[in-house]
Structure 1
Amino acid sequence: MASASITFVLIRLGELAVKEAALLRGVDDDIRLLRDKLEWLQTFIQHADHERRTGANNYIGLWVRQTRDVAYEVEDVLDEFLRKADLERLGLPAWKKCLKLATTCTTQVSVRRVLRDRMDSIKNRLKEISENVDKYKIEKLQSSTSSAQNPTNSAAASCFCGGVESDPFRSYHQVLTNNNDDKERSVIAIVGESGIGKSTLAWKVYDSSDIRCHFHQRVSINIPPHIRDTDILYFIYKRLCPDADDKMSLTTEQLHASLSEKLRNKRYLIMVDGLVNFTNWNSVLHGLPDNGELGSRIMIITRLEDKEAAYADPKVSPLRISYLYEHESKDLFCHKVFGSKNQFHNKVFGSKPLLKNEEEEMLEIFHKDVFEITQGLPLAIVVLAGLLRTKSFMEWDKVLSQLKTNEKSKRVKRILALCFDDLPSRLKSCFLYFAGMPENLIFNARHIVRLWVAEGFLKPKKGKTMEDIGQSYLKELISRGMINLVRKDPSGGVWLVTIHDRLHAFAQSEAHEESFLEVHDNADLLMPNSVRRLCLHNYMQSHVPMDTSFPKLRSILCDFAEERKTNSVKNHGGHNGLRYHGLQFLPRSKFLRVVDLRGMRIRKVPNEIGNMVHIRYLGIRSRSLVHIPSSMGRLINLQTLDITRSRVENATQAFWEIPTLRHVMANKLNLPKSVGVLSNMQTLTGLVCTDPWEKNISPLHHMIYLRHLEISGLGSGHWEALADAFQKLEALVYLHLAAKPEDEKIPFIQLTKFTLQRLQILELYGKIDMSNADIEERYTLPNLNRLVLKLSMVNQEFMDRIGELPNLRELVLSKKSYDGSKLMFSDSGFNSVTNLVMADLEDLVEWTIRPKSIPMIKRIALSGFTKLNIKLEGNQGPQCLKGLMDHLEEVVLCNMPDDLTVEPANSAFSEKINCVAIKTKSEDIMDAMLRAGRWRESMVAGTLY
């Protein structure tokens, strides 16, 4: 990992040489020599991390640690130099800059003199470290540990697989649905070693068609290891009612009452992944209705042993998952190495593979080695396969020989260490960053990439944005099995990811050992002066004091339990007796680059933040935040501002002129009518237009790389300028437009021109004006795959035209999106649609589906109709709805009346209806469908992290 630290410092030295050439006159030779020396050290030290981890020689660990400390010292010197230089240049008009030229030059000479002295000291220390390499003959110890390993004989398969169910899927399925005719509510725990595949099995059963039909309501949540029982109940409630009031307004009694109401007279299944103790488990059960003899089930995925897990429900034995048999291990290994479609075969064997028989014989030998090393543990197989996928077939023997050892208990750790050591230096930093993420949760990949960019982990490539490079890093880690892909976005990019708890523990251990990052539950640290990256996770305490100073801190990531009225203490300075964080620790950490705070009660940001010129990422997601200071305009290096959950409405004009801005995510932040040249901007979400745009010039004019735009409050003074902006926004992939509620209309004509060619998701909230649109003109949104309409009041003619969109996969017709009592999907319409949602179309009473329409449909969700008759034309004739029936998996009904009719009633369409009695609003019917059907939208405690 020391090599990654040196890599990062080398990047900073390169940036400094390019951006601050004028400041470096007189010390540029010193910096060049220092960079050369660090590059040589990086080359020698790349193999030393493995030696240091094995503990074969104390000299190795000392050498690695000293080299890393020098790299960190270089970073401190550079950051202090840049900070002083930036503060000199901040906030000065042109005439003052000329007036201060003489004094500035004097200041620069002084700053350079300090820099040169510090550089000389560092070079002398590096010279001493280099001499120690020869003095103690450290280089001769490389690879000594790996060469000493001897292969061991393979154990019998039965030793690793004894006691496993002949079909654990079927056994678990029977426990959930039958359990020997036990109709009482019961709790089933899935137990087994970490990495054994508990979550994989649980999700397979949870998502099976029989389970979906058996239970009226299903809920799944991922929770961190240590969490309050009331929060577990709240997360369940939020999954049931995603549009309900937030937990700040719910007392414990109200939460219990709401859950009882939502689950009354329903057979429910609740899956909780991540529970590690049952101390307050009875409190959780008490908050869920028993429902008599309906046979509700609660399943727990836990790492606890059988005896501990038995406390969940003494009447039901835990289901233990055991190791894979040898043939199962072989199947999983081949699938991970070569891919589901064997697409990595040539990468492993080369363009001229071995003869088929010879190849199979060698594979069989390696399969036995893999089974011996992994012992049939799925996690070990997946990670090892990810490593071998990067090697040629001829290199496999060398890799596997390093892993064969008599110490079976350490084999998984050795696999993880070897896979980590094989990562390029930049990927090591990116992987270790997951150590700072909460355990057992699911993360937004875009959020992770923005943090990587702000940290400086990514290497620029010509023709690619830093976000694209970050996506490629994520895909590499996923390919290697180091992190898990949960969901892709519509463009095929990585959207949601998670990391296995065993890999997470390894990352935390390695990050702590190398002083890369520290994870704690509070800010009371033993050595705060040395911490460079700090992650605070606490889901038990409502308020965590933050009064400590961290002089060398570069990054702080906090995730706390949000404070509620019911358990807060009196504070004369706050409202409703709730305490607020003053963030006074921020100004004391002058080198901070990343600030990402979640769950803290914050009303305002200290004005001193304007002097923290190194900040690249500022995320404060707090519902109590109402103001950001005007000094924010001084953050000349700021890339990302994330205030998505706040009540902030205005930012200073100077903020909108920071040229480095890339992502601004808010809730209801006013967008001024003019901004600076923000040519790097990629994300603008949660923006509101309050002023008309003059002379047809919008603030989006120079944002040519904008990809995600969410803007509301649009009126007549915006549309013409917006249409002109669309001519330049060629990179736009997500667009959300919301008109003013005062009967404003969205002119659809601007979406029919040859613009927005890359647009993939379009959400229109407001009445669509078709008056000036040429209905005969072909719509030109060739890559659009998701369309959401709300309050749009479109007609049949409009539906016929959007049905021609070639790549439309998801169509959501929400509240008042259709104006009429009858709707027909014609033969030529919606040929690519797989997911269809129709909600709160109160006037619609008849929906006709023609024989050749929606031929690829898989899932349909209907909600909030007062009366609806579905007519399937041609169902009994020679041209029946064969295409529809071939692909249709499920029809989910939510909040629907009993008089729903389907003609003909005995059609296959009727057989696939799954009624879900969810008595809630349909504002977010997509989420209701995701919970009711197989559309798994992974959530973190009710909210994407």
Structure 2
Amino acid sequence: MASASITFVLNRLGELAVKEAALLSGVGDDIRLLRDKLEWLQTFIQDADQERREGANQYVGLWVRQTRDVAHEVEDVLDDFLRRIDHDTLRQGLPAWRRWLNLAASCTTQVSVRHYLSERMKGIKERLKEISDNVDKYKITTFRTPAAGASSSAHNSTVNTVPAWDEGTEVVGFKAERANLESHLLASDDTSRSVISLVGESGTGKSTLAWEVYDSRIIRDHFDVRAWISVPPQIRDEDILYFIYKRLCPESETSEHNLSTTEKVHEALLVYLKDKCYLVMLDGLVNFSNWNSILHSLPKNEKGSRVMVITRLEDKEAAYANPKVSRLKIGKLDENDSSTLFRRRVFGANNQFEEKIFGSRISEPNVQMQEACKNMFKITHGLPLAIVLLAGLLRTKSISEWKEVLKKLESDNEPKQVKRILALSFDDLPSRLKSCFLYFAGVPENLIYNARRLVRLWAAEGFLKPKKGKTMEDIGQNYLKELISRGMIRLVKRDLNGGVWLVAIHDRLHSFAHAEAHEASFLEAHDNADLFEPGAIRRLHLQNYTETYVPMGTTFPKMRSILGDFAEERSQNEKASFSSTVRAHLPLKKQGNNSDLRYHALHFLPASKFLRVIDLRGLRIKKVPRAIGDMIHVRYLGLRSRSLAKLPSSIARLINLQTLDIKSTEVKKVAEAFWEIPMLRHVVANLLGLPKSAGILNNMQTLTGMICYDPSGNDIKPLHNMVYLRYLQIAGLTKPHWVALEDVFKKLESLMHLHLTGENIPFKLFTKFTLRRLQILELIGKIDTSGVKEEDQYTLPNVTRLVLRLSLTDQKFIDKIGELPSLLELVLSKDSYGEEKLLFSDKGFNSLTSLVMATRVPEWTIRPMSIPKIQKIVLSGCSGMQIKLEGKEGGEGLEGLMGDLKEVVVYSMPQEGSIIVKPANSAFEDKINRVAIKTKSEDITDAMQRDGRWRTGMIAGTMYQQ
């Protein structure tokens, strides 16, 4: 990581030379000389981290540490220089007389600060010279060749890996284990609730195998309700049970207060699961007390229910935890299955990278591959994680480089193999990707992470290298894809735009990242702020899911980032989802007497003068200190606390702020001058009012959780200055706002995701507004179709997903949206259709693959060619609906009539009389019966909540959220 630290500082020096040229008079030469020295030092230290990690030469470790310390010192000097330079003349929100006074005083200030910088630079150059002299004095050398460690690809994004980032993770091998697992779960002769635990070495693929079984059709069809919960270390039992309940019963009306204790959740589970056959899978449960508490709270209802525990405990430890629990041990792959997995991960699912790797000069690629597979098996011993990592590493190289890498790995002992492969994979990463990977050391273990949030944090940290023609968000997505393709992180789900939405990291890679980050003084992760050396910490992540109050009185003078995930009382934690119109307009619930609770005043923040990232979730905060406005380095400000209702006006002085995340708060207004910050990229809120005016915000990408409070519609006008918006979410829209939006949408040509909540949504949104790049459209509120004309043509050619709620649309509207050429997913949620009969005609929905019907319609007619490409239909709450499937007699034309249909999910529907085929088409009716699935609450929730604003399995509300 010394190399990555130097790379980061070199980029900061370059940015300073460009942006602050006018301030560098007299010190510019010093900075250029320092930059040259660091570039030379970086060249010689490329492989020193590998030597240091192996401990072969104690001098190398000392060299790496001292070099890293110098890089950190340079960073401190640069940040202190920028802080000391009088930026008051640039700050927003100051009166004119104050700005003129600051300008007059700044000349003297800048002279003294430049002198300070010059003196510090001289000291740093002298220290660098001393380090260089010691290298010669103690004959510190590295003997590594690039092919044995990092190849030339370590400095550039590879061409072979990124295109394969989204390949599936189909399980290879383990046929007997899968059969045993399914047999246990489906055992019809065992009606008692039984428990099975999957045990085995970390990296054998326990979770991957369990998920494939859990999500298989036979399992989904067998159980009434299912829940998969990822359990992080050190979490309260009541929280695990709460997440189980919310996942099993996502539409429950039970309030948060009534689920605030283990006993209350236990009672709710007993009531809900009394007559249901349920399946609960707990991934990561280790603590012995957790086992007994959770199993005791899940009812034994004699319905054949099952609980599966995926644990890191060894076989004997699991038996000790609960002797009555059946155990299934997952071992390693044999040589044939290992080779299959290796080939698939190296060459891609369709062997698309074989020619790139072997090249045209190789005459016998099969011989080469067979030899490589044998060496691979000797190295990995059939451990799936090791195979995936090694394949991800070798995919970046030519066949000529393979031999040296494999030869190096063959010399290591088996217990160290995974760690060695991990180290080689890490060392092969480009310097910027190393920083991005190590950032996972500061996220909660064994959970799933939102890619958008990660990218925003990386951008604020300065890890992303700008590239002409691409936004920082695009670059961050490419970095994620690179890490996924290399096997360093795992893709959980893509978003509807084809990008990365959810990712996870294996626990062994998480441990490696944690160890490397600690060794490199990159990041510290703890459960409290009572640390031994707070003055040396540069990045701190506090994770505490057991305490509701964590003291934060320590100061951190060199800290760049503080992130925190804390437990928060559910009795205070109201639903913060923005997806409901009602939530936006109902009066806030009165909170109980909280006088006995302690709140964090965040007094430690101003003392951390170099902070760039502040992201605290679940912490009890009532107010933010005004001094935060003096922290000019802050680029990311995230404060998610239900008790926070106001932000100080001084945040308008955060001239470098890129992201403001106040979702899950009650903040309704920020200072008008805040909307003048030119660097703003993302504002993620909950109830925040739109401003009356705004500056030119050409960097703004995301504006969500906004409310229109001005009945005249004037608060729409500031959107004119955000022409590069990609994500926009507004509620409280009335007629004046729609008039103003008509003009605004002419400028928002980059808009991709639009969520609107309001009254009388005009139909011309589909026919008059030009939103050529829009892909996702969500509308909540009645749609006015009074002006629909036959000759009206759609103007939304790229919309792939349309969600309607409370829309009360009519047949004319359905006919018109059926013409959208790219529509793949249609969600007709509650009260989205207002007539008695619904018809899907032959003219529409020719591209639709997924349909959710969750609105009451007595009769729905589907004609033969109306949805020819449909693959999944979800029916929910459509009690009494008659579905008329018009087809030809005798089943002719079945392939044309939904021939691609794979799945029908029926939720809250009558068992008989709900499907009528007209005219009779027994073949098609049989098809429906074959693919129909019983009630699955999580399936309907997943289908209707694809935007990720709500999912269970969350800790402190952080998972899956924007």
| TM-score calculated relative to the size of structure 2 | 0.91
Asked if structure 2 preserves the Cα contact closer than 8 Å seen for 1:755 and 1:780, the reply is yes
Paired letter, 1:5? S
CA distance in 1: counterparts of 2:38 and 2:926, whole angstroms: 72
CA distance in 2: counterparts of 1:341 and 1:689, whole angstroms: 51
Asked if structure 1 preserves the Cα contact closer than 8 Å seen for 2:376 and 2:406, the reply is yes
Paired letter, 1:896? M
SS of the equivalent of 2:342 reads helix
1:580-599 pair list within 5 angstroms? 580-599=599-618
Say if 1:250 and 1:754 are closer, same or farther in 2 by CA, change over 3 A.
closer
CA drift at 1:406: 4.7
1:223 paired to 2:225: no
1:641-720 pair list within 5 angstroms? 641-692=660-711, 698-720=717-739
SS of the equivalent of 1:701 reads helix
CA drift at 1:635: 0.8
Say if 1:281 and 1:35 are closer, same or farther in 2 by CA, change over 3 A.
same
SS of the equivalent of 2:687 reads strand
CA distance in 1: counterparts of 2:144 and 2:708, whole angstroms: 62
Structure 2 partner of 1:238 = 246
In the TM superposition, what whole-angstrom CA distance separates every residue of 1:784-829 from its partner, at most 9, and x where no partner exists? 1100011111111211121121221111001111111111111232
Structure 1 partner of 2:429 = 423
Structure 1 partner of 2:295 = 285
Structure 2 partner of 1:196 = 204
1:256 to 263, 266, 272: 266
Structure 1 partner of 2:15 = 15
Asked if structure 2 preserves the Cα contact closer than 8 Å seen for 1:5 and 1:68, the reply is yes
Structure 1 partner of 2:156 = none
1:605 paired to 2:624: yes
2:775 to 745, 751, 760: 760
Unpaired segments of 5 or more residues in structure 1?
Answer: 148-163, 568-572
CA drift at 1:515: 0.3
CA drift at 1:574: 7.5
1:331-730 pair list within 5 angstroms? 331-350=340-359, 352-355=360-363, 358-563=364-569, 575=594, 577-692=596-711, 698-730=717-749
CA drift at 1:859: 1.6
Say if 1:92 and 1:802 are closer, same or farther in 2 by CA, change over 3 A.
closer
Structure 1 partner of 2:286 = 276
Asked if structure 2 preserves the Cα contact closer than 8 Å seen for 1:636 and 1:660, the reply is yes
CA drift at 1:26: 0.8
Unpaired segments of 5 or more residues in structure 2?
Answer: 150-172, 574-591
Paired letter, 1:682? Q
CA distance in 2: counterparts of 1:928 and 1:267, whole angstroms: 22
Structure 2 partner of 1:74 = 74
Say if 1:86 and 1:797 are closer, same or farther in 2 by CA, change over 3 A.
farther
In the TM superposition, what whole-angstrom CA distance separates every residue of 1:402-447 from its partner, at most 9, and x where no partner exists? 1112511001110000110011111100100011011010000010
Structure 2 partner of 1:205 = 213
Paired letter, 2:873? I
CA distance in 1: counterparts of 2:565 and 2:810, whole angstroms: 47
1:157-196 pair list within 5 angstroms? 167-178=176-187, 181-196=189-204
Paired letter, 2:887? G
1:85-104 pair list within 5 angstroms? 85-89=85-89, 90=91, 92-104=94-106
Structure 2 partner of 1:134 = 136
CA distance in 1: counterparts of 2:515 and 2:867, whole angstroms: 52
Paired letter, 1:17? A
Say if 1:586 and 1:520 are closer, same or farther in 2 by CA, change over 3 A.
same
CA distance in 2: counterparts of 1:771 and 1:930, whole angstroms: 30
Paired letter, 1:636? I
Q: Which moved more, 1:54-63 or 1:96-105?
A: 96-105
Structure 1 partner of 2:163 = none
CA drift at 1:719: 1.3
Say if 1:13 and 1:632 are closer, same or farther in 2 by CA, change over 3 A.
same
2:122 to 120, 123, 127: 120
1:940 paired to 2:947: no
Asked if structure 1 preserves the Cα contact closer than 8 Å seen for 2:730 and 2:755, the reply is yes
CA drift at 1:910: 2.9
Structure 1 partner of 2:872 = 859
CA drift at 1:928: 7.0
CA drift at 1:322: 0.5
Q: Percent identity?
A: 63
Q: Which moved more, 1:232-241 or 1:391-400?
A: 232-241
How well do the aligned residues superpose, as a CA RMSD in angstroms? 2.4
CA distance in 1: counterparts of 2:213 and 2:657, whole angstroms: 46
SS of the equivalent of 1:698 reads helix
Say if 1:914 and 1:142 are closer, same or farther in 2 by CA, change over 3 A.
closer
Paired letter, 1:908? K
Structure 2 partner of 1:838 = 853
Say if 1:353 and 1:826 are closer, same or farther in 2 by CA, change over 3 A.
farther
Q: Which moved more, 1:321-330 or 1:95-104?
A: 95-104
1:753-832 pair list within 5 angstroms? 753=768, 755-832=770-847
CA drift at 1:914: 1.7
In the TM superposition, what whole-angstrom CA distance separates every residue of 1:220-262 from its partner, at most 9, and x where no partner exists? 1111022111111001112123355664552323222221222
Asked if structure 1 preserves the Cα contact closer than 8 Å seen for 2:446 and 2:507, the reply is yes
In the TM superposition, what whole-angstrom CA distance separates every residue of 1:150-185 from its partner, at most 9, and x where no partner exists? xxxxxxxxxxxxxx9761111110011117x22210
Paired letter, 1:720? V
Say if 1:391 and 1:609 are closer, same or farther in 2 by CA, change over 3 A.
same
Say if 1:882 and 1:576 are closer, same or farther in 2 by CA, change over 3 A.
farther
Paired letter, 2:84? K
Say if 1:100 and 1:657 are closer, same or farther in 2 by CA, change over 3 A.
closer
In the TM superposition, what whole-angstrom CA distance separates every residue of 1:884-910 from its partner, at most 9, and x where no partner exists? 554222222222234542123743213
CA drift at 1:96: 4.3
Structure 2 partner of 1:329 = 338
How many pairs are equivalent? 906
CA distance in 1: counterparts of 2:891 and 2:97, whole angstroms: 84
CA distance in 2: counterparts of 1:776 and 1:566, whole angstroms: 52
Say if 1:18 and 1:784 are closer, same or farther in 2 by CA, change over 3 A.
same
SS of the equivalent of 1:77 reads helix
Q: Which moved more, 1:304-313 or 1:539-548?
A: 304-313
1:890 to 899, 903, 912: 903
Asked if structure 2 preserves the Cα contact closer than 8 Å seen for 1:242 and 1:927, the reply is no
CA distance in 1: counterparts of 2:499 and 2:148, whole angstroms: 38
CA distance in 2: counterparts of 1:512 and 1:136, whole angstroms: 27
Structure 2 partner of 1:31 = 31
Asked if structure 2 preserves the Cα contact closer than 8 Å seen for 1:719 and 1:747, the reply is yes
Structure 1 partner of 2:934 = 915
Paired letter, 1:139? T
Asked if structure 2 preserves the Cα contact closer than 8 Å seen for 1:851 and 1:879, the reply is no
In the TM superposition, what whole-angstrom CA distance separates every residue of 1:611-668 from its partner, at most 9, and x where no partner exists? 1111100111111211111111111111001111111111111111111110000111
Asked if structure 2 preserves the Cα contact closer than 8 Å seen for 1:565 and 1:576, the reply is no
Say if 1:417 and 1:258 are closer, same or farther in 2 by CA, change over 3 A.
same
CA distance in 2: counterparts of 1:312 and 1:859, whole angstroms: 42
Structure 1 partner of 2:167 = none
Asked if structure 1 preserves the Cα contact closer than 8 Å seen for 2:628 and 2:650, the reply is yes
SS of the equivalent of 2:531 reads coil
Paired letter, 2:245? Y
CA distance in 2: counterparts of 1:431 and 1:915, whole angstroms: 42
Asked if structure 2 preserves the Cα contact closer than 8 Å seen for 1:188 and 1:313, the reply is no
1:214 paired to 2:216: no
Paired letter, 1:271? M
CA distance in 2: counterparts of 1:145 and 1:65, whole angstroms: 24
Asked if structure 1 preserves the Cα contact closer than 8 Å seen for 2:722 and 2:748, the reply is yes
Say if 1:668 and 1:64 are closer, same or farther in 2 by CA, change over 3 A.
same
CA distance in 2: counterparts of 1:265 and 1:392, whole angstroms: 59
2:752 to 715, 725, 733: 733
